[in-house]
Chain A
Amino acid sequence: MSDDRIPYQELQEQLQRAEATLSALRRGEVDLVIGETQPLVVRFKDLVEEKDRLLQETDRLAKEWQTTFNSVGDAIWILDAEQRVLHSNKATEHILHCSAQEVAGKHCWEVIHGTTKPIPNCPLLRTKKSLQRESLELQLGERWLKVTVDPIVDADNQFTGAVHIVSDITGRKQTEAALQNSLQEKTQLIRELYHRTKNNMQVIMSMLMLQAEFTEDEQTRDMLQGTNSRIHAMALVHEKLYQSQNLSRINLNEYIQDLAQLLAQTYRVTPNKITLAFDLEPIPVLIDIAVPCGLVLNELISNALKHAFPHKQSGEISIRLRRAPDNELIILTIADNGIGMPRNFNYGRSETFGLQTIVAIVEHQLQGKIVFEEKNGLTCRMQFKDSHYEARV
C-alpha cells in the first residue's frame, strides 16, 4: 500500500506543477522556459505579447472592415459559389428594405426578384462564366437599381463567390430622362429654326420674283433672277439641314443632286436635250461648307445651262464629287461638253459678277483652289478642305 501511495502523490504533485506552469504561461507571467537536456532558454514573453498584439490588430482590422462595409451607401453582399448571401451590409436595409438576418443564407434571386431561380440575363451567372465584372439595370416599381457583380476567385482562378453590389440609380435615371427631354426639345427648336430660315428665304425669293415681273429692263430682271437663284441655293441647305438627322451636317452629294435638278427646272431644260450626269461620293459636310459650295455650284451650273448649249444644242453636264485619298481634300468637278468660253476669255481678269463670286468664295470662304480648263467644253475643278470649321450644333 505505502509503496503505491508515494508515486501517486508525486504524480499528483507533478501534474499540479505542470498545470500551474501552463496557467502562468497563459497569463504571460513567465520570462523563460527551461530546456530539459541542454541549456535552451526560450523567451516566451515576447511571443505572448506578439500574440496579443496580433489579436488586437486582427480585431482592429475586422472592426475597420466592418465599419467600412457598413458605411458604403450601396447594398453590398458577399455571396458563395451557390449564390447564397454570406454577408450583407447596412445599406441593404435602406435599398432593399430587408434586414441582414432576412437576407443571410438566401439566394440572391429570392431576395431581389422574389423568384425561385435566377432571372434570365442574371449578371451573376454571367460573372460566373466570364470571371469579370457584369452589371444589370432593373426597375423595381418606381425605383431603378443597378446590380454590379464582381467575381471572387481562388489561387487557381476558380470562381468561389462574388461581391454583389446594388445601387439605387433612380436619381440618375430621372436626370437622364430630363436630359433626354431637354435634348429633344432643343433638337426640335433647331429644326424649327432651320425651317423658319428657309421659309424667310422663300419669302425673299417671292418678293424678288414679284419685282422681276414688274421690271421691264431685261438686265435688271436677269440680276433679280440671279439673286433669287443664289438665295434658293442657300435655302436648300437649310431645308436639307432640318431634314437631316444630326442637324449639323448634310450630305453634300444629295444636296448637289437636288440643287442641279432644281436649276434644270428653273431654266426649263428639256430633259432629253441637256442631261445631268452625277458621280457623287457621299460626303457629309457642315453648313459652313455647304452654303459656299452651293453658291459656287449655282453659278457654275446656271452658267452651263444658260450659255454652254446655245440654239437648243444637246449636251451633258457632269458633276463629280470625291474625297482625296489622303482624306484631307474634297474635290468637286463640274464639266460640260458645250461650246466653251468665248475666245480670249481671261478668267483671272473677268469682271462678270458670277465668276468673281465663284473665285472669291472658293479662295476666301473655302480656302481652296479653283481651275478652269477648256477641252471639249468647259471643265471647272475645285478642291478645298472641310476641316477649317468645327461643328457648332
Chain B
Amino acid sequence: MEANIQRPETGSSAGKTPFYRLRLFVAGSEPNSDKAKAVLANLRDKYLRGCCEINVVDVFENYQAAIDYQIVAIPTLIVESPPPQKVIVGSLSNEDTVLDALGLAGREVQL
C-alpha cells in the first residue's frame, strides 16, 4: 500500500520544526515490520505532530517500490527530508539512532 500524498512544503524558518517526509518499507505484518510501524507512530505523536508525512510501503503489495528505492532489507525507514537523505535499517528499536537521524536528539517532547 502506497499512500503517496503530495503536500506542498510550508516555508520553514530557523528554530521551527522542519517538515518531515518519511517512507517506511514494511513486509506485511511480520514482527519487525509491525514493531517499526509502532515505533514510528509513537515518534510522530511525540515529536512530529502536524509537520510530517509518513508513507508506509508494504513490499508484499508493491515489490517494485523496494527495488526502485534500492531497499535491501525490510523494515527500512528513509528520511527523505529534511536533507540530506538518511536510511535506517531494522525495527527502529534503538530510539537514539532514530532521533539522531531525524535531527531530533535532545528535542523537547511536543505536548
Q: Please list the residues of chain A having a beta carbon within 8 angstroms of any beta carbon in chain B.
A: 17-18, 20-21, 23-25, 27-34, 36, 39, 41, 44-45
A30 and B73 contact, CB distance less than 8 A: yes
Contacts of B75 in A (CB 8 A): 29-31
Contacts of A18 in B (CB 8 A): 72
Residue interface bits B11-29, CB-to-A below 8 A is 1, else 0: 0000000000000001100
B25 nearest in chain A by CB position: A34
Nearest Cβ in chain A — how far from B82, in angstroms? Answer: 16
Question: Would you give the shortest CB distance from A222 to chain B, in whole angstroms?
Answer: 116
User: Is B74 within 8 A of A32, CB to CB?
Assistant: yes
Q: Does B52 touch A at the CB level, under 8 Å?
A: no
Given A30-B32, A32-B27, A45-B30 in contact, is the A21-B74 Cβ separation under 8 Å? no
CB <8 Å contact, A36 and B74: no
Q: Is the CB of B90 within 8 A of A27?
A: yes
Known: A29-B32, A45-B31, A45-B32. A34 touches B90 (CB 8 A): no
Question: Which residues on A sit within 8 Å (CB–CB) of B33?
Answer: 31
B25 to A: closest C-beta gap in Å: 9
Main secondary structure of the interface of B (DSSP, over half): mixed
Query: A36 near B73 (CB under 8 angstroms)?
Result: no
Given A20-B87, A39-B67, 13 other A-B residues pairs in contact with their CB atoms under 8 A: A17-B72, A18-B72, A20-B89, A24-B73, A27-B90, A30-B74, A30-B75, A31-B32, A32-B27, A33-B72, A33-B73, A34-B73, A45-B30
B87: chain A residues at CB < 8 Å are 17, 20
Q: Is the CB–CB distance between B90 and A29 below 8 Å?
A: yes
Known: A21-B73, A27-B90. A32 touches B30 (CB 8 A): yes
B89 in contact with A34 (CB, 8 Å): no
Which residue on B lies nearest to A30, using beta carbons? B73
Chain A residues within 8 Å of B89, by CB: 17, 20-21, 23-24, 29-30
Taking a contact as CB atoms under 8 Å apart, the answer to whether A32 and B93 are in contact is no
CA distance A44 to B75 in the complex (A): 12
B residues sitting closer than 8 Å to A (CB atoms) are 26-27, 30-33, 59, 63, 66-67, 71-75, 87-91, 93
Measured between beta carbons, the chain A residues less than 8 angstroms from B72 are 17-18, 21, 33-34
Minimum Cβ distance to chain B for residue A8 (Å)? 15
**A34 touching B88 by the CB < 8 A rule?**
no
Are B73 and A25 in touch, CB under 8 angstroms?
yes
Query: B93 contacts A29, CB within 8 Å?
Result: yes
Chain A residues with CB under 8 Å of B27's CB are 31-32, 41
Distance between Cα atoms of A20 and B73 in the complex (Å): 10
Smallest beta-carbon distance B68→chain A, Å: 11
The interface centre, meaning the residue of A21, A23, A25, A32 with most chain B CB atoms within 10 A of its CB, is: A32
Is A34 a contact partner of B30 (Cβ separation < 8 A)? no
Measured CA separation A18–B70 after assembly (Å): 11
Partner of A31, one of B31, B63, B66, B88: B31
A122-B69 Cα distance, complex, nearest whole Å = 72
B94 shortest CB reach to chain A, Å: 9
A41 to B63 alpha-carbon distance, docked (Å) = 10
27 contacting pairs across A/B (C-beta < 8 A): A20-B87, A20-B89, A20-B90, A21-B89, A23-B89, A23-B90, A24-B73, A25-B73, A28-B32, A29-B32, A29-B91, A29-B93, A30-B73, A30-B75, A30-B90, A31-B26, A31-B74, A32-B27, A32-B30, A34-B63, A34-B66, A34-B67, A39-B67, A41-B27, A41-B63, A45-B31, A45-B32
For the complex, give the distance between the alpha carbons of A178 and B9 in Å: 103
Q: What residues on A are CB-neighbors of B71 within 8 Å? A: 34
